[in-house]
Amino acid sequence: MVTFQFIPYQDIENLSSAKRINKLINIVKENKIVLMEGRLEKEEEADLIEITMEEISHKFKGIELSVIYPDRSKQDFFHKIKGGFTSVLLGNREGMTIIGPASIVKKIEKNPNKIELFTRDK
Amino acid sequence: MVKSFLLNLLKKLAFNPFSRKSHIKLGVYGPPNGGKSTLANRICEDWLGETMSSVSHIPHETREIIIKEQVTIKNKKGKELTFSLVDTPGIATKIDYEDFLKRGMNKEDAKKRAKEATKGVIDSIEFYEVLFKFIK
Ligand SMILES: Nc1nc2c(ncn2[C@@H]2O[C@H](COP(=O)(O)OP(=O)(O)OP(=O)(O)O)[C@@H](O)[C@H]2O)c(=O)[nH]1
Ligand SMILES: [Mg+2]
């Protein structure tokens, strides 16, 4: 059975980077797949990978991570003309981040119109 | 992905490479098994006549940062460009110990490789972050 846990943006909005990353890692280590509204800062993503590497063991193989921007083409166009105005308003709330344990999630494929998450056959 | 990034980087360098004297670090970054060491070797072989990294079809062959100092290339007019070439461990979000086993490695080697690979990823990220701050 695969369990998803949704994390709305307001749940992580006011957390420090360290706490935010910890929260995510802890859920993933419970063998759940995180669906997080929004996305991490580049530095946070790097920290997340570092911490993941430190935690790798026989039981914990690491993570699969994917960030999805809805309607990217429009957004890019909008960004171009508005000079990043939307991101000032929405911050990192745009998009969706999926993080799952590598033992469960084989890969996450992004297409313009859909997201496919492939799980491992046990 | 790695390739296009590198091609772009090389293009940029090729565009205006001999105009500045400052010290340049040319780092090769990307996911495991992407051909980073092959590319680094290629550059190194072309200009120094030696290899710098070991290449393998098994991911995480490079588990330590390798720096080749003083790679000097010359253009036809005799102008020189010297840089350090940096080959880095592939950055991954998971280390698949079983994948090493499947590729015929024994248990002990696979375990060792997995352990070194996790450290390699951390080193790569940290090296990259330092470099990035420096550029900023
Ligand atoms: N087909 C093809 N194979 C390549 C190319 N470049 C490298 N390879 C092969 O890809 C495999 C991995 O190459 P490496 O250079 O070791 O890759 P790497 O990015 O350094 O990998 P790590 O050190 O594990 O992060 C080797 O089997 C290479 O022979 C290429 O341009 N085309
Ligand atoms: Mg390599």
Distance, CA of B2 to CA of B15 (rounded, Å):
20
Q: What is the mean pLDDT of chain B?
A: 84
How confident is the model at residue A74, as a pLDDT?
A: 53
Q: Does A115 have pLDDT greater than 80?
A: no
Cβ of B36 closer than 6 Å to ligand 1, yes or no, is yes
Q: Mean per-residue pLDDT for A104-113?
A: 79
CB A68 within 8 A of CB A115: yes
Cβ of B34 closer than 6 Å to ligand 1, yes or no, is yes
Q: List the beta strands (DSSP E) in chain B.
A: 24-28, 66-74, 80-87
The secondary structure element, H or E, covering residue B74 is: strand B66-74
Distance, CA of A61 to CA of B118 (rounded, Å):
10
Q: Does B51 have pLDDT greater than 90?
A: yes
Backbone φ and ψ of B77, nearest 5°: -80, 0
Q: Does A65 have pLDDT greater than 50?
A: yes
Distance, CA of B32 to CA of B88 (rounded, Å):
10
- In words, the CATH class of domain B2-135 is alpha beta
> Could you tell me which of B134, B7, B122 has the C-alpha nearest to residue B64?
B122
Give B37 Cα–ligand 2 centroid separation in angstroms. Answer: 4
The residue ranges of every structural domain in chain B are 2-135
Cβ of B1 closer than 6 Å to ligand 1, yes or no, is no
Q: Mean per-residue pLDDT for B35-48?
A: 94
Buried b (16+ CB within 10 A) or exposed e, B103-129: eebeeeebeebbeebbebbbbbbebbe
The partner residue sitting opposite B94, judged by closest CB among A50, A54, A62, is A62
3-state secondary structure of B58: coil
| Closest chain B C-alpha to A22 CA, distance in angstroms | 15
Please answer yes or no on whether B125 and A46 come within 8 Å at the CB atom. Answer: yes
The residue ranges of every structural domain in chain A are 3-119
Q: Mean per-residue pLDDT for B32-50?
A: 94
Q: Considering only residues 51 to 70 of chain A, which have any Cβ-Cβ distance to chain B shorter than 8 Å? A: 52-54, 56, 58, 61-65
Q: Does B92 have pLDDT greater than 50?
A: yes
pLDDT above 90: percentage of residues in chain B: 57
Distance, CA of A62 to CA of A55 (rounded, Å):
8
How confident is the model at residue B8, as a pLDDT?
A: 57
Model ipTM?
Answer: 0.77
CB B93 within 8 A of CB A62: yes
Q: Mean per-residue pLDDT for B48-54?
A: 94
> Could you tell me which of A67, A22, A107 has the C-alpha nearest to residue B94?
A107
- Could you read off the pLDDT of B116-128 as tens digits, one per residue? 999 999 999 998 8
Q: How confident is the model at residue B16 (pLDDT cuts 50, 70, 90)?
A: low
Q: Does A2 have pLDDT greater than 90?
A: no
Where is pLDDT greater, at A30 or B21? A30
Any idea what DSSP says for residue B122? H
